[in-house]
Structure 1
Amino acid sequence: MQKELLSSIDAEATFTLIFETYYKRIYNYIHYRVNCHFTAEDLTSQVFEKTMNKINTYSPSKSPFEVWLFAIARNVVNDHYRGQKKWDLFSLDGLKELVSGRKGPESLVIQGEVNDRLQQALQTLHTRERNMLALKFGAELKNTEISQLMGITEDNVGVILYRTMKKLRKTLGSVELE
């Protein structure tokens, strides 16, 4: 009985450490992919719920823990998009996020325009390119970690990111992003 209690406490401490270490990066990655605070929070919770339920399936010999965790996050985001309707014309979550901002109306409009242009530019990219950008800038993963997660070489990751950024700059023109 005491052994079970101790292992339960150890599991809880381990999960707390995982959550505190990775929450912000997982949230940033997901927010980068879905562009909505509320949706990102919900999906981030799903990632940690799945992590807690599947922690016993993790094998250090297959990949580093961080790569395994971000694979779960990527799958949660992909499942989210599969479940959405094809044409999402109006997002209440997006409206809530816009209204709840603490900036003035002028800066909200300007920031909204910049975000809209960026979202339009991101939509011109392939899913793989958007995912790599989210892993690099949202989750702050290194090219080595992205290469393990995507199953490609580190050099290939660098080339794809370089070309993707070049394509985005061309699409956006001279728009300055904050």
Structure 2
Amino acid sequence: MTINLIPPKLKREKKLKKTVNKVFVFSVFASIALAVVSVMILSISHSVKSRFKQVEQAHESLIEESRKFAELETQIALTNDKLVKIDKAKKGTVLWSQVIQELATVMPEKVSLKTLTMDQEKKGVNIGGEARSLRDIAKLKEKMTRSPYFQNVFFKTSSWNHDIGTLNFSLTAELQG
């Protein structure tokens, strides 16, 4: 048998004090835990906001770089178009100085050139000149035919000039290539 010497009122007060102390300690721990969680949430929030700003700036930077690359791509395409046009023009261009040099090379001594008409579109030449004989004109035609510059060499006209004893002639030729 146990005898309880503490009066019931005091016993209840003591029990109530213990409960109040427990609630107070629990409240303090809960407040501390809530404060720690709040600090963590604020820290994480700040970190996330900071990281979000960095990602947003990186995204804007990538968009700007993408725009610059698109502009460069457009400029490259325009430049390539220009290069294609230049290449076509270059391939279609006749170096007339070389054609004239070749004519000087194949021209026999007794043949003189009087007229030379160059046709860029048809890539051909019309030649008018004087020669002492038909043999000299035939030599010119033969040399032009063997030349890497000319093809389809044809006589157009010829006439004898009695006053000076020369043969006037004209011929046409296409340029090779």
TM-score by length of 1: 0.25
Greater fraction of residues in helix: 1
Structure number with larger C-alpha Rg:
2
